[in-house]
Amino acid sequence: MLETLVPDAAARGRHLLSLLFTHWTAAGVVLAVVTWAVARQVRDERSREHVLLGASVAALVVLCPLPVALALVAFVLLHWAAVELPPAPLGTAAALGLLVALVVAPVWWIDWTGGFGLRVRELVAFATNVVWLRCWAYLLDRRRGAPRLAPARFLLANVFFPTMVQGPIETAHAFGRRWEPPALLPGLARVARGFAKLVVVEALFEPGWTGGLAFAGLESAPRLWLWAFRLYVWFYLVFSGWTDVGIGLARCCGRVVPENFDRPWLARDPAEFWRRWHVSLGVWLRDYVYIPLGGNRRRWALNVALTFLVSASWHIWGSVKFLGMGLFGPHAWDGFLLWGLLHAIGVLASRPVAAWYARGGGRVAVARVATFLFASWCWIPFFMSAGVTLETCLHMLTRMLWPFG
């Protein structure tokens, strides 16, 4: 038994060391310590930003080849120039054209980025997802009358190394409002907490275990629910681990980064779940999709549905950039779209649910359990393998709710 466990532990340790997360954390800690040491000698905010910009560009060069790093930096600066290009209609058209190009380029050049290694392709997939959101927000903020940012500030807000890979997502205009004295030990403690979560993931979940969903079509309802609960726990540990590291690194550098998770298992309805899960993305979708569409003022149900369609499409794009159209073409997008549709329906149902549990008693506990089950149920299509048909996925979801058929 011991001879079996030791090689397995060694294999999982090697897998952890091979992850982009580990390489990003290691590079980030080194850069954060250097930044903290330099920032202690710097008094004014502008000089501190220059130090952070140098560290962030250095992180890009360390984590990916120089051509990829330069391409990302060039895109950000070109987008800033396009937004500021007079007259405003011309600048808007140029900025929108660049955003479309950013959607297409990582997919078109996936073989080129993949030629540098799997981690580089993964980094490009993650980082461009975050950059796209920040650039779109800057365009809208400027057209709403927000002040012009200096190109160096805009570049730093986009490639800030603690959050450039997986967020939390904050807009360029919000970036300059959240400074604090650099705190090395509290920051590194938060980093350690995030890394510990990934160690737990390696101990509890074998690498690539989610691929087993491709063969789960004939599983019993209890087994499917076990899959759903495991997906919830696994995804929370992985994603919140990334977030903890990002927040901790930022604190070492003297920046306050918004929290991304607020005990989502305490949510009492799907709308509250999205105020607690991936909070920064939820805020971005609210401010730059939902409210511009009309928010609660008109076509509320349609606006909710369109907001989740944007979210699903954003996740689809991220997967296509990593897996390619061959492995993750339109035939594989059904899972994300179904996930978005289910959550849209859940959010639309949240108002009567909230009115029900507001009457007190044991209703709050029931609502929390029901919301946890609903969110777990929805992770099944979100993580559905590309080879599983929509019909099979719907059959699995139905059997989880009605196991007697």
pLDDT digits (tens, 9 = 90+) for 149-176: 999 999 999 999 999 999 999 999 998 7
Residue 2 has pLDDT above 50, yes or no: no
Whose CA is closest to 24, among 160, 155, 182?
A: 160
The last residue of a domain, from among 175, 203, 237: 175
According to the model, what pLDDT value does residue 378 have?
97
Eight-class DSSP state of 179: B
Residue 231 has pLDDT above 80, yes or no: yes
Whose CA is closest to 137, among 170, 161, 163, 106?
A: 170
Using pLDDT thresholds of 50, 70 and 90, give the confidence band for residue 405: low
Over residues 321-356, the pLDDT tens digits come to 999 998 899 989 999 999 999 999 999 999 999 999
Residue 144 has pLDDT above 80, yes or no: yes
Q: Which residues contact residue 399 at a Cβ distance below 8 angstroms, ignoring those fewer than 6 apart?
A: 221, 224, 405
Shared domain for 362 and 267, answered yes or no, is: yes
Using pLDDT thresholds of 50, 70 and 90, give the confidence band for residue 5: very low
Shared domain for 222 and 258, answered yes or no, is: yes
Shared domain for 54 and 146, answered yes or no, is: yes
Pairwise CA distance, residues 261 & 273, whole Å: 10
Shared domain for 228 and 361, answered yes or no, is: yes
Phi, psi of 255 (to 5 degrees): -120, 140
Over residues 8-65, the pLDDT tens digits come to 778 888 899 899 999 999 999 999 999 999 887 877 778 888 999 999 999 999 999 9
According to the model, what pLDDT value does residue 6 have?
52
Vertex 373, ends 387 and 365: CA angle to 5°?
170
Shared domain for 148 and 198, answered yes or no, is: no
Shared domain for 169 and 213, answered yes or no, is: no
Average pLDDT along the chain: 92
The average pLDDT across 206-211 equals 86
User: In this structure, is residue 74 part of a structural domain?
Assistant: yes
Over residues 58-109, the pLDDT tens digits come to 999 999 999 999 999 999 999 999 999 999 999 999 999 999 999 999 999 9
Shared domain for 169 and 198, answered yes or no, is: no
Over residues 296-317, the pLDDT tens digits come to 888 999 999 999 999 999 999 9
According to the model, what pLDDT value does residue 65 have?
93
The average pLDDT across 113-118 equals 89
According to the model, what pLDDT value does residue 4 have?
42
According to the model, what pLDDT value does residue 44 have?
75
The last residue of a domain, from among 175, 204, 235: 175
Pairwise CA distance, residues 176 & 226, whole Å: 44
Shared domain for 212 and 154, answered yes or no, is: no
Over residues 233-289, the pLDDT tens digits come to 999 999 999 999 999 999 999 999 999 999 999 999 999 999 999 999 999 999 999
Shared domain for 146 and 290, answered yes or no, is: no
According to the model, what pLDDT value does residue 187 have?
97
Vertex 23, ends 20 and 24: CA angle to 5°?
80
Range of the domain at 86: 2-175
Please count the structural domains in the chain: 2
The CA distances from residue 260 to 125, 223, 350, in Å, are 20, 30, 21
C-alpha count within 13 angstroms, C-beta hemisphere, residue 370: 18
User: In this structure, is residue 182 part of a structural domain?
Assistant: no
Over residues 351-384, the pLDDT tens digits come to 999 999 988 889 999 999 999 999 999 999 999 8
Shared domain for 89 and 195, answered yes or no, is: no
User: In this structure, is residue 27 part of a structural domain?
Assistant: yes
Shared domain for 14 and 48, answered yes or no, is: yes
Pairwise CA distance, residues 72 & 132, whole Å: 11
Write out the two tokens for 253: 């550098």
Whose CA is closest to 105, among 133, 63, 59, 71?
A: 71
